Amino acid sequence: MRFLTRLLFLIGALRAGRPAASQSDGERDVDPREREIVSTPRAEWALVVLLIGAGLLAGAFAVLIAAWPNTQILGGTLGGAFLLLAAALILAGKRVVPQEVAVEERTIPAGGRARDEARELVTDGVEGVTRRKLIVAAAGVTGCGLLGAAALPITAWGPSAAQRIDSSPWRAGSVVVDERGEHITADDIELGSWLTGFPEGASVEDIGSPVVIVRVDPTTLDLPAGREGWAPEGLLAYSKICTHAGCAVSMYRYPLFKPRAPGPYAPGPALVCPCHFSTFDVQRGAPVVFGPAGRPLPQLPLRIGAGRRLEAAGPMSGSVGPAWWGVKRPLT
């Protein structure tokens, strides 16, 4: 309010310098001012009824919130109270108080003498100062220093900058378990089905942990060179965190029949992310066949251990999770 007042003061002070109105053709010189007394007993009684109704409904809300806090009833009563209040206020504004069309002169642009005087005041402020540019530059140094001092404590927010964004708990020999910590065996996954696996003993909340395990016909495998033996019996494991935006890749598209015509995207089994529909071809090492992801899902080499339980045969083939400046150095 004080701010408003000051501005109005300012406007008042500037009024003197206001130039004459700029344009005027016949129609615009009409004087639109009018004032009309509109109140009638009927309108005033309606206003009274609406106000009392709003009060009663608001009171009902107060009782109900203690006695019977049902979302619908509470919303209905309090919303109804405001609805009646809105009707009352609009009725009062349109049918009870005097209706007036007024004209107010604009004060912009101010200009004129006041502006020249203000400009003089500004330039007077540096009168006699000769090394202006040098001083401004020195103040710039202060600014940069303070900015750095203010910004750098944010390094206390997180882990040391040396920590890998993409650290994954998978190591050669990690045993694959489900989210309850029970071992997953090679026989748990049928052709066309999929499971989520985690390394035994690691946190399931770590984005380096979850992998999708699928089974495909081993004869259809076409993995990149160097991944021989990563998919025993056609069992494949890929990081479940999408390389595009970090959502869980939780849809598995497994065609039950051959497409009649070649489509725009690979017809084979594919993992699909439900956020932005990046689609990864599981038979070829999960390259992106459609959607916005920029790199394949990292693959986890599998082996079948004692009791046919699944184990990792090595670390992930690449950085887990969404990309950043510098990602995709192969893990060693």
Q: Among residue numbers 7 through 36, which ones bind another protein (CB under 8 A)?
A: 7-12, 20-25, 27-33
Tell me whether residue 51 or residue 232 sits nearer to another protein (CB atom): 51
The CB-based long-range contact list for 114-120 (8 Å cut-off, 24+ gap) reads 114/13, 114/14, 114/16, 114/17, 115/17
Report if residue 226 touches another protein, rule: CB under 8 A.
no
Binding mask 161-190 for another protein (x = CB under 8 A): x-x-xxx-----------x-----------
Nearest-5° angle of CA 253, CA 328, CA 226? 70
Binding mask 261-290 for another protein (x = CB under 8 A): --xxx-------xxxxxx---------x-x
Q: CA-CA distances (angstroms) from residue 5 to 8, 10, 115, 250? A: 5, 9, 21, 59
Tell me whether residue 1 or residue 122 sits nearer to another protein (CB atom): 1
Q: Name residues contacting another protein, limited to 295-314 (CB under 8 A).
A: 295
Asked if 178 and 204 touch (Cβ cutoff 8 Å), the reply is no
Q: Name residues contacting another protein, limited to 139-158 (CB under 8 A).
A: 154-155, 157-158
Q: Which residues contact 135 (CB under 8 A, 6 or more apart)?
A: 129
Minimum distance, C-beta of residue 209 to another protein, in the bound complex (Å): 7
Which one of 150, 222, 325, 332 is in contact with another protein (CB under 8 A)? 325
Report if residue 60 touches another protein, rule: CB under 8 A.
no
Report if residue 204 touches another protein, rule: CB under 8 A.
yes
Which one of 113, 171, 308, 329 is in contact with another protein (CB under 8 A)? 329
Q: 3-state SS of 7-72?
A: HHHHHHHHHHHCCCCCCCCHHHHCCCCEEECCCCHHHHHHHHHHHHHHHHHHHHHHHHHHHCCCHH
Q: What is the DSSP letter of 318?
A: S
Tell me whether residue 58 or residue 232 sits nearer to another protein (CB atom): 58
Minimum distance, C-beta of residue 64 to another protein, in the bound complex (Å): 9
Minimum distance, C-beta of residue 61 to another protein, in the bound complex (Å): 9
Report if residue 71 touches another protein, rule: CB under 8 A.
yes
Tell me whether residue 3 or residue 257 sits nearer to another protein (CB atom): 3
Distance in angstroms (rounded) separating the CA atoms of residues 129 and 134: 11
Minimum distance, C-beta of residue 134 to another protein, in the bound complex (Å): 32
Report if residue 58 touches another protein, rule: CB under 8 A.
no
Which one of 16, 101, 139, 146 is in contact with another protein (CB under 8 A)? 101
Which one of 43, 51, 56, 83 is in contact with another protein (CB under 8 A)? 83
Q: What is the DSSP letter of 200?
A: T
Report if residue 225 touches another protein, rule: CB under 8 A.
no
Distance in angstroms (rounded) separating the CA atoms of residues 331 and 325: 16
Q: Which residues contact 331 (CB under 8 A, 6 or more apart)?
A: 166, 168, 315, 316, 317, 318, 319
133 SS3 class: helix
